[in-house]
Chain A
């Protein structure tokens, strides 16, 4: 029996925000849960993130923004994902995101928004349930 392919996650910090404690903790938790995680590092443009997702054949793009620039950055990534024809990639976001912004982001195609206090187990479960099945 062939070994099952691991879920591949591109973890990204779009924009200029330097708060990377959360994304790094999530990278470690996803790895402990058996996923393959590639972390982009800080200050990535939406273009760089989507190019990396393509190159890494990512199943998931997980972005973190605590600077308040999510309403620009998340939909921009989503647009590029669609333009590049990889709309089956699961795109999620997290950070300090006001409740009233969440419906708009989901409408843009972001599958889930995780806010402060989220358990990493919930993120792991969400990915397992919603990632594309090969």
Chain B
């Protein structure tokens, strides 16, 4: 980077600085003997051009929109268009959630993100015994196409993009979305959005699995194939590090395990006969934004670089869009405190800023009351406004990747990449992500990091403001959202009504056809679309598949 003579001068200067530091340290030691970030990466006192003496700009960074896309996937980034402001939302019934969506769109949100309740996410209808107490609690309850129509009432699906956090029963909810669009007169090629569709992190970190890995991977590749042909603008998967981080991983582990999962999906799709450049451009990612500001920025940049290399070198992708890691970000729920909850507004704003400086395509900012309840309207508005303040007031979006070239940030980006690559290599040696999860490797690594983090807090080595330092007596936060406890009963009544008024012969026929396909190798998506059109419920479709595929049993690990 520097001419050799200048480097020599800097070396001399640095030696003088080091002497001075040695003297200062005798009088006043530093706050800690060793400075490490959350991933265990040592942080030097200062970084200089000496740390970048053999830095190859084009190889490491390139220009925005150029391989290896470290700086950005788009040549103009936020100078063209800001990220999509997309708040994850859903609770109670489809009507209540629909009302929240209209509020968010009116407040300037630019995309929708659906939170489903746990019975929906695990493929149970609201009247299933295991759904008791859970209906409408952590998201909206969707049993059938009729609920899905209510959810998107008055929202033209050709005008918004919609993200759906749905994994095991992803095919069913996607089919319902297509059917709602059809009723609105919107053809599938006009639809934009994302389904999470990432089962591997469910096994390791999030828990809403249904089927064992092999049939789950088949459903996923069926969705890839179907969407490539029928819904070409749809992101067919959102390979998610968010929940891995929430489960307690470090930043390095987050991107390592996520990208290793990405490798497993690409391998499964290729094995299913798809071509990497057909489905590669529609893969997308989802990361967490935690509190270590610069480590997070380095993490996003490192992830882009690693993924571009994997797709190019390992899988031979040639379409530039296959090499581009596009991602959604959510600020870290696990950093929110129930104590002094207004402090969370600051945490979220800093986390959001690091996601923006890391070049996210889409962003959810958490609400300050989320350690206590689902967000209230007031809290979600403050969260959305934080994004708008960053976009419209701070001016950080006017140049692409503004922190590039920082001696520290580039070193940190390299260190995060190197350590993540070590994990990816280790997972390869274990036989890939599926095997590493079945052996419990990933879960144990995450669990150990989570326990270490908690111990650091309890020993006071890690300060959480308002929790283990600067505590204060405080008033209870008022105005928390409470989910209507009657929603479960109403959903059960609706299901009863649905089952007595629909064409049950058509439903049985559609489910029988689905069963036959599941036993064979045909793509399941068209059959699921047919089933939901005739009002087969989510639980009925999933039960049909359970009958063929069986259910996943988690290994006993703890």
Pick the contact of B133 from A39, A72, A119 — CB < 8 Å?
Answer: A72
For A29, the chain B residues whose CB sits under 8 A away are: 451, 454
- Nearest CB of chain A from residue B209's CB, rounded to whole Å: 9
Pick the contact of B451 from A25, A39, A73 — CB < 8 Å?
Answer: A25
A interface footprint on B323-350 (CB within 8 Å = 1, 0 otherwise): 0000000000010011100000000000
Q: Is the CB of B480 within 8 A of A98?
A: yes
Among the listed stretches A11-19, A54-62, A79-87, A125-133, which one makes contact with chain B, having 4 or more residues with CB under 8 Å of it? Answer: A11-19
Cβ of B465 under 8 Å from chain A: no
Q: Is the CB of B118 within 8 A of A67?
A: yes
Q: Is the CB of A18 within 8 A of B447?
A: no
Tell me how many residues of A have a C-beta within 8 Å of chain B.
Answer: 34
For A37, the chain B residues whose CB sits under 8 A away are: 558
Main secondary structure of the interface of B (DSSP, over half): loop
Cβ of B45 under 8 Å from chain A: no
Pick the contact of A18 from B119, B137, B208, B338 — CB < 8 Å?
Answer: B208
What residue of chain A has the Cβ atom nearest to residue B466's Cβ?
A117
For B263, the chain A residues whose CB sits under 8 A away are: none
- Nearest CB of chain B from residue A131's CB, rounded to whole Å: 21
For B207, the chain A residues whose CB sits under 8 A away are: 17-20, 42-43
Q: Is the CB of B247 within 8 A of A117?
A: no
State A17–B243 Cα separation when bound (angstroms). 13
Cβ of A102 under 8 Å from chain B: no
Cβ of B272 under 8 Å from chain A: no
- Nearest CB of chain A from residue B101's CB, rounded to whole Å: 21
Q: Is the CB of B133 within 8 A of A98?
A: no
Name the residue among A17, A71, A117, A119 with the largest chain B CB count within 10 angstroms: A117
Q: Is the CB of B338 within 8 A of A24?
A: no
Q: Is the CB of B134 within 8 A of A27?
A: no
Instruction: Please report which residues of chain B, range 372-386, place their CB below 8 angstroms from some CB of chain A when the two chains form the complex.
Output: 372-374
Q: Is the CB of B373 within 8 A of A25?
A: no
A68-B450 in contact given A19-B207, A41-B554, A96-B372 (Cβ < 8 Å): no
Q: Is the CB of B133 within 8 A of A28?
A: no
Cβ of B401 under 8 Å from chain A: no
A69-B137 in contact given A17-B118, A45-B130, A117-B337 (Cβ < 8 Å): yes
Q: Is the CB of A116 within 8 A of B137?
A: no
What residue of chain A has the Cβ atom nearest to residue B202's Cβ?
A18
Cβ of A99 under 8 Å from chain B: yes
Cβ of B246 under 8 Å from chain A: yes
Q: Is the CB of B337 within 8 A of A69?
A: no
A96-B133 in contact given A21-B248, A28-B451, A117-B467 (Cβ < 8 Å): no
Q: Is the CB of B371 within 8 A of A96?
A: yes
For B334, the chain A residues whose CB sits under 8 A away are: 21
Cβ of B439 under 8 Å from chain A: no
Cβ of B399 under 8 Å from chain A: no
Pick the contact of B558 from A27, A45, A72, A96 — CB < 8 Å?
Answer: A27
A interface footprint on B129-169 (CB within 8 Å = 1, 0 otherwise): 01111100110000000000000000000000000000000
What residue of chain B has the Cβ atom nearest to residue A69's Cβ?
B133
Q: Is the CB of A16 within 8 A of B450?
A: no
A15-B134 in contact given A20-B247, A116-B371 (Cβ < 8 Å): yes
State A42–B122 Cα separation when bound (angstroms). 12
- Nearest CB of chain B from residue A75's CB, rounded to whole Å: 10
State A25–B137 Cα separation when bound (angstroms). 24
Q: Is the CB of B373 within 8 A of A98?
A: yes
For B473, the chain A residues whose CB sits under 8 A away are: none
Pick the contact of B138 from A20, A68, A71 — CB < 8 Å?
Answer: A68
For B138, the chain A residues whose CB sits under 8 A away are: 17, 67-68
State A121–B132 Cα separation when bound (angstroms). 33
A28-B483 in contact given A69-B137, A121-B458 (Cβ < 8 Å): no
A-B contact pairs, 10 of them (CB 8 A): A15-B133, A15-B134, A17-B118, A17-B138, A18-B202, A43-B207, A45-B130, A67-B118, A96-B373, A116-B371
Further 15 A-B residue pairs, CB within 8 A, beyond A11-B558, A16-B208, A117-B339: A16-B131, A16-B134, A19-B246, A20-B207, A21-B248, A21-B450, A24-B450, A25-B248, A39-B558, A41-B558, A67-B137, A68-B138, A71-B485, A96-B372, A98-B373
The 3 closest A-B CB pairs, nearest first, are A18-B207, A72-B133, A69-B133
